[in-house]
Structure 1
Amino acid sequence: MSWFEYRNQVLCAESVSLAHIAKEVGTPLYCYSTAALKANYEEFVDAFRDRDVLIAYSVKANANQAVIATLSACGAGADVVSGGELQRALAVGVPGSRIVFSGVGKTSEEMSAGVAAQVHQFNLESKTQLESLSEIASKQKVEARVAFRVNPDVDAMTHEKIATGRRTDKFGVPIGEARSLYELARSLPGIEVVGVDLHIGSQLTDLEPFKKAFSRLAELVNALREDGHDIRHIDLGGGLGVRYRDEQPPTVSSYAELVDETLGSLGCQLILEPGRALVADAGILLSRVIETKQSSERVFVIIDAAMNDFLRPALYDAWHPIDPVSEPQPDANRDIVDVVGQVCESGDV
């Protein structure tokens, strides 16, 4: 279902005219649908209804505090990767018990804030992070709950810049080296080993990479339990794709079935970190045309939004539909144009 559709020839967000919003607020602006956010969250709740699961919204997908607050009110937690994201989640009422602290570059100050907030779990990426967290938690006289993010060496078959589970990527601990780090963690003060974690990439449109990664994770959990570790959390990260144009991503229910098939027998709490899947279709960027400019080669439609407002096309060559607020008539003339912003770069397209 689309929460942005034409009503009486005017594009609306739910039942509110975008022309009215533009007049009242000005442009450019982002407009979000509360109904869409709630519906997307409930799709995950329904798919995992009979499981012990924490759905931790990946704040990096959209850090707007109204978005975080809306999902939190539905019951979502938060997956954060920085001190700033942690502050934003706490500020709108997400309790520390529903926050997972991930990230490849956590500073001591950020980890200290996470310990103070009593986050549900730290997803650690290195021996250095482990030793730093041990020192911080010991000084605060608490135990920090930890998992290691493992790199399963799985190609997510997604855009090069958002694939994160190959051995050449900067993320996680090589899965073959994980057991030795868990042994070290067990020996350190201020550390409680509780789980395992992975995240292989974003915008996956095929379940096969997930299956490979989850199967390797299950093998690791069994090995760690044989080593005497009490592994009770499995964090699967995010990555489930959405449709922008002609993609056919898996449904949330089919993803849940795969999780059951590969990990269901382990009896662990599942931590999911959906981001794009919760927010991608829940918002629009509303902009005005400043002028139309014609050269000998092209027609440029210059708008008041730019790459500083919406970076994906410049960064990823991403495709997004552009719709006029006033519904065009069936016999309206159509031209091929370049829609561009005001930034002084040719990539602002």
Structure 2
Amino acid sequence: MSINFKELANKYGTPYYVYDFDYITNQYNELKTAFKARKSLIAYAVKANSNLSVIKHLANLGAGADCVSIGEVKRALKVGIEPYKIIFSGVGKTDDEIRQALEFGILMINVESAAELDRVEVIAKELGKVARISIRINPNIDPKTHPYISTGLHENKFGVDIDTAKRMYIQCKNSDNLEPTGIHCHIGSQLTQLQPIKESVQIIADLVRNLAAIKIELSFIDIGGGLGIIYDDEKLIDTNEYAQTVLETMFGLDITVVCEPGKFIVGNSGTFITKVLYEKVNGEKRFVIVDGAMNDLIRPSLYNAYHKSEVLNDNKEFSACNLVGPVCESGDFFAKNVQLPKTQHNDLVAIYSAGAYGFSMSSNYNTRGRVAEIAVENGEDRLIRKRETFEDLITLEEEFIK
């Protein structure tokens, strides 16, 4: 679907994020259909884009939620995702978060260490509840992606090794307050090769079989997320081939597959639109300065991530430049040495593939209000988050001024 970025800029101002909800629908349905041969749950990774309207849209399609804070769990519940479709992951859950998750009755807590399992058991006993447990396995497999978004190697902080996991499952089996329910593995984000996924799923499927031999029967096998999207010219994993490969490793297992896509569903749905303020030249270096900044979209600054950028004008006079924002940091850039046309004040710049880890990682650095978010569905646009005002930013502080 074509989105009129200029019309939206006139209506809502800049900078803004806009999301194509029809694209989100198609991505969800594509993945759900790929796993139709088996019981499955598509648990949307809320961290990718936690706007309530985005989560609600996916809830309406039948999605569950993969959450990494109790705040994300509450977002999922608020828009109507049933507790039995919610998974709570993350390496550092507080006692209060564990307590609330148990009281909400979510599907399972995804445990990432033996110490965490001990805390869950203690808290479940205090509450007189049985905690449904999934254990995250770290298979020590290189996902062939950026090191900052790699999660499946022993050098990463996530999950436990196979031997530790076996001991933890036995602890669950022998506990009155723990129920071994699932197994989980997620080796990283922006995955574009199938082999590492196949190897990791094979490892956890084999563990499921070994556990069954000692009478520990699991109901869910969570293969994580991480399927890549197009930022530049990536060759992506075919969704049907992905599902078929995963299902082949589970031959003979009566178990529900859980998948946790985030970026795959929303990444290419989103565009960040910013406005040119000025051009300047330092020596021979050209800079295009826009009203958006690293606090709005931090991925380029954080790990030099590439986002295709396009000036929305008809100028054919291109030259190399740095596309930068107003924040007082040298790391405040969207692109370096990128070929862009000559710009004028108020020209719009579209930064693509910004639907995941864009707004959700934004901040108020330099006392900058976070930007507006807009949904477009069936050709109609609507505001799904207002632009923050200065008053919004100070509301939790001003009563304490002396």
2:84 counterpart residue number: 97
By how many angstroms is 1:276 displaced?
A: 0.7
Superposed structure 1 runs of 4+ greater than 4 Å apart = none
8 Å contact kept, 2:41–2:63: yes
Confirm or deny that 1:260 pairs with 2:247. Answer: yes
1:8 counterpart residue number: none
8 Å contact kept, 2:141–2:187: yes
Matches within 5 A, 1:68-107: 68-107=55-94
Per-residue CA deviation, residues 154-187 of structure 1 (Å, 9 max, x unaligned), is 1111101111111121110112321111111222
Confirm or deny that 1:288 pairs with 2:275. Answer: yes
For structure 1, which segment, 55-64 or 183-192, has the greater mean C-alpha deviation from structure 2 after superposition? Answer: 183-192
2:46 counterpart residue number: 59
Per-residue CA deviation, residues 292-339 of structure 1 (Å, 9 max, x unaligned), is 11121211111111111001111121111112334x36xx21121111
By how many angstroms is 1:188 displaced?
A: 2.1
Match of 1:335 among 314, 319, 327: 319
2:127 counterpart residue number: 140
| Secondary structure of 1:336's aligned partner | strand
Match of 1:187 among 171, 174, 177: 174
Matches within 5 A, 1:1-349: 3=1, 5=2, 12=3, 17-326=4-313, 328=314, 332-349=316-333
Aligned residues: 333
| Secondary structure of 1:22's aligned partner | helix
Per-residue CA deviation, residues 220-247 of structure 1 (Å, 9 max, x unaligned), is 1111111110112101111111111111
By how many angstroms is 1:148 displaced?
A: 0.6
State how far apart, in whole Å, the 2-side matches of 1:205 and 1:274 are: 14
State how far apart, in whole Å, the 1-side matches of 2:86 and 2:320 are: 46
- Aligned-residue sequence identity (percent) comes to 40
8 Å contact kept, 2:227–2:261: yes
State how far apart, in whole Å, the 1-side matches of 2:96 and 2:30 are: 36
The one-letter code sitting in structure 2 at the alignment partner of 1:258 is T
State how far apart, in whole Å, the 2-side matches of 1:221 and 1:298 are: 57
8 Å contact kept, 2:293–2:324: yes
Per-residue CA deviation, residues 193-222 of structure 1 (Å, 9 max, x unaligned), is 112111111111100101111111121111
8 Å contact kept, 2:114–2:164: no
By how many angstroms is 1:130 displaced?
A: 1.2
| Secondary structure of 1:60's aligned partner | helix
State how far apart, in whole Å, the 1-side matches of 2:78 and 2:100 are: 13
By how many angstroms is 1:144 displaced?
A: 1.5
Per-residue CA deviation, residues 27-75 of structure 1 (Å, 9 max, x unaligned), is 1111111101101101111111121001000011111211111111111
Q: Which runs of 5+ in 1 are unaligned?
A: 6-11
State how far apart, in whole Å, the 2-side matches of 1:123 and 1:21 are: 41
| Secondary structure of 1:104's aligned partner | coil
State how far apart, in whole Å, the 1-side matches of 2:164 and 2:129 are: 27
Q: Which runs of 5+ in 2 are unaligned?
A: 334-402
State how far apart, in whole Å, the 2-side matches of 1:221 and 1:119 are: 22
TM-score, normalised on structure 1?
0.93
| Secondary structure of 1:201's aligned partner | coil
1:9 counterpart residue number: none
